[in-house]
Structures are given as structure tokens and as C-alpha cells.
Amino acid sequence: MQDELDWLVSVKESTIGFLEKLRSETQPGFYHYSATGDLFGEEKGWGLGNTVFAVKILYTLGQLEVISENHRKVLADFMLSFQKEDGSISDPLVHRKSRLSNMENAIRNFSFSNIAGEQTIRAETRQAMSSLRLLDVRPERMYGKIPYGVEGVEKYLRSLNWRDPWSAGSHFSHLLFFHKYNGRVFGHRREESERMIDVAVDYVNGMQSKDDGVWYAGTSVPVQLKINGAMKILTGLKAAGRMDFKYPDKIIDLVLPAKNNDHSCDNFNIVYVLKYANEMTGGTYRNPEIQDFCRRRISIYRKYYHPDAGGFSFFPGQSNIGYYGARITKGFNEPDIHGTCLFLWGISLISQLLNLSEHLGYKEFIA
């Protein structure tokens, strides 16, 4: 275990340097997505997601309180420069470049809810606002494109494809985030928002399987998709302060033998679900196996790490190519800011599961 500890300490130190290399010298607030393979330069008026990831990396590494007030302001101002009149915060280049992908997905899945990119815009807005919250910055405008009223919330949830629990769980999570965020940050219909959160939670409780503890519809959902969807549900519950759910032991039984290591999202999702299922049991269920799982997961994480550069790639030996359906890199064998953010977030959870948080100093943020 000492070797793993030494590696986790070295990662924390070297990732700070990697992030600094991605930081633009000419465009305040801009970070490159990958080390050398970006398809678009900083002059293209894009990069919202990159800066969102940078803020979360800085928080995870305990650096947000170390950087200067001017640096914090530059980060916030850059993200806020993407806000529209309707309160949404989205990247116009990503929106343009993902149109074809959105159309293809709509035709393939016979689901047209994101054909105009509205779901992507909602997701980007949520991620930007969660990063602004880490900086203690309140946007000027609220994002209000969420349903209110029991009928509206239930209609929204019924419209989601629960046979694809990753997608459905994602938009459940956004719904809870914005109700909580708008009520707390903007004071908007706060009491009603709390009731709507209750309505949404009651709805997904009806989707939870008694057999394996996770949330989906149908009988042929792959385990990987079940776990990834559960992660989305749990981030919503966490954001809304409703982290209370049934069958955590069944969820642990589902997770422990699962693979989920194709890319950084899979690797993060499985650890997130395990962490909160374990928390619900008070750490009393299959704990030695959970400890072994975490140590094995560290070994998997190391396969994505680039020690010379100091960051993680989204795929083993390859940076991520697409972001919300838009191709943004050449996919070189190098680290990227997205994979680095997710693996560091996962390390923060693993360090908690192994009772090493105080020793390692990685911090978990609320998405």
C-alpha cells in the first residue's frame, strides 16, 4: 500500500504543474483541453468546459484557497462571459459542432428531446454554476428552464427514457440541482422548490429496483449502464441534500464484481456509487472487499496517468476526442483536462473509503 500512497501524493504535486501548462498565457481564464491536440485555439471564443474542469481540479487539489483573488476573478469572469439572457451558460462552439451528432442520435434512438441541444445547454449550465459556487460567485441571471408544480415535474420525469438510465438520471440530477440552486442562491420559490425536490425523489424511488438497488426501467439494461445511471441519480440527491436511499447493500453487491473501466467516466462513476452506498450502510457491509476494490481501482487509475506530463487521459493512452458530441481534439496519446478532473475526483472518494483523506488532502466537490 505504501507504493500506492506515494503515487497518490506525487499525483497531487504533478497535476498542479500540468494544469498550469494548460493555462493560456494570452487569454485570461482560458485553459486548453488537451496537452497538444486541441482542434481549436484560444482565439475561437470557446473553452467554457475546460475552465469548469480547471476550477474543479484546483478545488480537489486544495488550490482554490491558494491562488490569488485576481486569478479567481479571472476564472469566474471567463465562465460568466458565456451566460445568455435566459440565464443559460453554454459554449457556442460546442453547440455548433454537436448539431450533426445530436441529429444522428435523435434519429438512431427515436428521441428528439436534444435535437436542438437544449439538454446539452442545461448540462453545461449546471456544470458552470457548480464551479461558480466553488468560487463563491453568484451569476447575475438565474437559469429558469425547469418545471414547477407537481404535474410539470412528473411530466418532465416521465419524458425521460429510463431504459437509458445514464441519460434519464442525468436530467433528473439537473432538475434537483437547479431547484436547490435557484432556491438557495437566488431565493426563487424556495419552499416550492423543496416540495418539487420531494416530488422528484418520490418519483425515482418508484424506479428503484428491489433486485439490485439501482434506478432504471426494463429488463435488459447492461450493468455498466445501471451503475453509470445510479451515479447520476446520486449526484442529484447529493446536490439537493437528499442523500437517503434504499437497498445500499444490493448496490454494493452490484458494484463490487463490475468492470467499469473503459474510460474516465466509467472509472469515476463506479467509485462514486460505491462510496455513497457504503456510506448508507455505515461502512458495515462487505467493508474488507470494498477496501480491496479501492486498492485495485488505484492500479487501474495508474494506467491512465501520464507521469511525464502530470495528468490523466480520458482513455488509456488517448485523450478524449469528443465533448457533448462535438469533436474537439485529435485524440493523441496525452492527458486532457476532462480525464484529469474525473480521476482526481475519484481519488478524493477512494481516499475517503480508505480513510486517507486527512493524509492525502484531496477534496471532494459537489457537482
Q: Please report whether residue 367 resides in a domain.
A: no
Instruction: Supply 320's cell numbers.
Output: 478524449
Count the domains in the chain.
Answer: 2
pLDDT of residue 113: 53
pLDDT of residue 265: 96
Segment among 106-110, 254-258, 296-300, 340-344 with least mean pLDDT: 106-110
Q: Please name the residues in contact with 282: beta carbons below 8 A apart, sequence gap of 6 or more.
A: none
pLDDT of residue 100: 61
pLDDT of residue 10: 95
User: What percent of the residues of the chain are helix, what percent strand, and what percent coil, each to the nearest 5?
Assistant: 55, 5, 40
Across 140-145, average pLDDT = 96
Range of the domain at 194: 146-243
pLDDT of residue 264: 96
pLDDT tens track for 218-258: 999 999 999 999 999 999 999 999 999 999 999 999 999 99
Across 319-335, average pLDDT = 96
350: enclosing H helix or E strand: helix 337-353
Q: Please report whether residue 366 resides in a domain.
A: no
d(Cα 143, Cα 145) in Å, to the nearest integer?
6
Site of grid cell 462514486: 272
Q: Please report whether residue 258 resides in a domain.
A: yes
Q: Please report whether residue 40 resides in a domain.
A: yes
Same domain, 94 and 160: no
Same domain, 296 and 337: yes
What's the whole-model pTM score?
Answer: 0.95
Same domain, 100 and 152: no
DSSP code for 358 = H
pLDDT of residue 216 exceeding 90, the answer is yes
Same domain, 274 and 165: no
Q: What's the burial of 108, exposed, middle or buried (CB within 10 Å: 0-12/13-18/19+)?
A: exposed
pLDDT of residue 317 exceeding 90, the answer is yes
Q: Per DSSP, which regions of the chain are E strands?
A: 305-306, 311-312, 322-323, 326-327
pLDDT of residue 260: 83
d(Cα 186, Cα 191) in Å, to the nearest integer?
13
Question: Using an 8 Å Cβ cutoff, are 32 and 50 in contact?
Answer: yes
Question: Using an 8 Å Cβ cutoff, are 340 and 346 in contact?
Answer: no
pLDDT tens track for 60-119: 999 999 999 999 999 999 999 999 999 999 999 999 988 766 555 544 554 545 544 688
Same domain, 128 and 173: no
Across 7-33, average pLDDT = 96
d(Cα 102, Cα 113) in Å, to the nearest integer?
10
Site of grid cell 491558494: 66
